[in-house]
Chain A
Amino acid sequence: MIMIAYYVITAFVLVLFGWNFVREKKSRDDLVLYLLVMIPLLLRLLRVK
């Protein structure tokens, strides 16, 4: 149950960063940072190490 909750939190954070990434129009630096932050979140959800 707790593990599932953590996957839900991870997915929520990933969606927020993905959303911000898509809507980011001004800063190229921020786009790269969004991608960097999304790497571990996405791979954790996909259970890829």
Chain B
Amino acid sequence: MTTQILIILAVMVAAYVAAKAAKLSVELSMFASALAGGVAGAFLKTPPLADLGRHLVEGSFTYLDVILVFFTATLFMTIVNESGGVVYVVRATLRVFGKKRVLVLLVLMVIVLIPGALTGAGSVSLLVVGAPVAMALGRLGVPRKKVAAILFIVAGLSAAAPPVNIWAMILCAGTAIPYVGFEFTLGIPVLILGTFTVLVLGWKKDPGAAAGPAELPEPPKGMTWWRVLLPFAVFFGLVIAYRAWPFATPIFGLSLEFAVAGAAALLLSPKKIPFLTLARDTAKRLLPLLATMVVVGMLQQIMTVTGVRGLLSFAVISTPLVLLFFLLPVIIPFSEGILTYGGAAIIGIPLIWFLDSIGFHATVVIAGLSLLWPLGDGLPPTALIGRLSNMVSGYDGSYREFLKATWLPWLVITAAGMAMIIFSSKLTFLVKWSM
């Protein structure tokens, strides 16, 4: 039986490699892998050929809720950006804290963290606030390579930050653990690591790197603080309301909360926003990410029905624990670089089952792993956040040099993530604070 499953796994890997060689996107390569695995499995009637379509469709439903959160959150942040809110906040930050370098760096870090934290996608952070923040960092005299490095690390951390963490959501959905207790468990390490990153990489000033003040665009007339903050107040108000008054307030769910906040941002915008065009552009921009979610669900279903997932789970639980801890800092980022969110489903879920069963605290372990996965977004073949960071910061040097610039935050984040995994049972107070 093991040999048969290994053959199916080999077929899936071969299909992925062949699709990549044919220059197909990561999403289509994963789809080809799922399809090939299903067909290979059909020879052994796992699943029968007639059921293959049903399994693919069923798998596509796995992350439907995450897809809706992703879309509504990104649309909300895009409306805030289009209304001029982001530029307004960045300009105000430079005006108010201009002379206090540390404060400017910290506020810019928070600005990058917010969109990713709300949407679960570091790419959204970079697409929405990346360019103005890169300009602001340039004005502080931070060299472009380091600007790209800061944006990459902080955007990655923003994806791991609460309330929306896609890796944690995938792991929770796959292991039947409720997606609760992550606010402080993720929030505190993300803030500490983000602060460390911006201070280490942004502390030194390079006089040659200063950009002219005219580079930052003007916000639209009529933009004020309350127009920027009220939509966020609506969102957080809805999030907090059902916790504060659980018997009087219905649970709206993140998608609906983002939709309501988006409507507020649209109404409060000082300039007219072409909503349908904006929504269509958002759908186009999100296509690769949403397709990844659909395809990862299919891949997961096919791996389950063919037995490949069971085999990988067995491989994980039979690896000596110490060896596993040495391998995780390498395996986790590389799984993200190759499979994007698929890595969480394929490696993360059996890993959580295993560590949970031997006494590690699942929520803290998931939070620790969530810090390691974003690092993989700078690794090939996908390198989604890494490439975007280079693009929005205007850095056109060697990609290897850019990665080298991230080495210290990379090591510290890895150490923090591993410490959270290894000492998870001692960090349960973070989960208790979050409940």
Give the B-binding residues of A (Cβ under 8 A).
Answer: 2, 5-6, 9-10, 12-13, 16-17, 19-20, 29-30, 32-34, 36-37, 39-41, 43-44, 49
CB-defined A-B contacts under 8 Å, sample of 11: A6-B253, A9-B255, A10-B68, A13-B67, A16-B279, A16-B282, A16-B283, A20-B284, A29-B25, A30-B287, A37-B294
Which residues on B sit within 8 Å (CB–CB) of A9?
68, 72, 255-256, 259
Using A43-B57, A49-B58 as known contacts, say yes or no to A37 and B256 having CB atoms under 8 A apart. Answer: no
Say whether A37 contacts B68, CB under 8 Å.
Answer: no
Q: Which residue of B lies closest to A8 (CB)?
A: B259
- Binary flags per residue of B1-45, CB closer than 8 Å to A gives 1, else 0: 000000000000000000000001101100100000000000000
Say whether B28 contacts A32, CB under 8 Å.
Answer: yes
B235 at the interface (CB under 8 A from A): no
Complex Cα spacing A5 to B260, Å:
11
Q: How far is the CB of B227 from chain A (nearest CB, A)?
A: 24
Say whether A39 contacts B279, CB under 8 Å.
Answer: no
Using A9-B256, A20-B280, A40-B61 as known contacts, say yes or no to A33 and B287 having CB atoms under 8 A apart. Answer: yes
Using A5-B259, A43-B57 as known contacts, say yes or no to A29 and B28 having CB atoms under 8 A apart. Answer: yes
Chain B interface bracket (under 10, 10 to 19, 20 to 34, 35 or more): 20 to 34
Say whether A19 contacts B294, CB under 8 Å.
Answer: no
Say whether B288 contacts A33, CB under 8 Å.
Answer: yes
Which residues on B sit within 8 Å (CB–CB) of A29?
24-25, 28
Q: Which residue of B lies closest to A17 (CB)?
A: B283
Give the A-binding residues of B (Cβ under 8 A).
Answer: 24-25, 27-28, 31, 57-58, 60-61, 64, 67-68, 71-72, 250-253, 255-256, 259, 279-280, 282-284, 287-288, 290-291, 294-295
Say whether B68 contacts A49, CB under 8 Å.
Answer: no
Say whether A20 contacts B283, CB under 8 Å.
Answer: yes
Using A6-B68, A40-B60, A40-B294 as known contacts, say yes or no to A33 and B283 having CB atoms under 8 A apart. Answer: no
Q: How far is the CB of B74 from chain A (nearest CB, A)?
A: 11
Say whether A37 contacts B291, CB under 8 Å.
Answer: yes
Of the candidates A6, A40, A43, the one whose C-beta lies within 8 Å of that of B255 is: A6
Say whether A44 contacts B64, CB under 8 Å.
Answer: yes
Q: A2-B252, A16-B282, A32-B31 are in contact. List 13 more A-B contacts (CB 8 A).
A: A2-B251, A2-B256, A10-B68, A13-B68, A16-B279, A30-B287, A33-B25, A33-B288, A33-B291, A37-B67, A39-B60, A40-B60, A41-B67
Of the candidates A12, A16, A17, A36, the one whose C-beta lies within 8 Å of that of B295 is: A36
Q: How far is the CB of A14 from chain B (nearest CB, A)?
A: 10
Of the candidates A6, A36, A43, the one whose C-beta lies within 8 Å of that of B61 is: A43
Which residues on B sit within 8 Å (CB–CB) of A33?
25, 27-28, 287-288, 291
Q: Which residue of B lies closest to A39 (CB)?
A: B60
Pick the most buried of A2, A37, A49: most chain B CB atoms within 10 A of its CB: A37
Complex Cα spacing A16 to B57, Å:
21
Q: How far is the CB of B160 from chain A (nearest CB, A)?
A: 24
Complex Cα spacing A44 to B61, Å:
8
Complex Cα spacing A33 to B250, Å:
35
Which residues on A sit within 8 Å (CB–CB) of B284?
20
Which residues on A sit within 8 Å (CB–CB) of B255?
6, 9
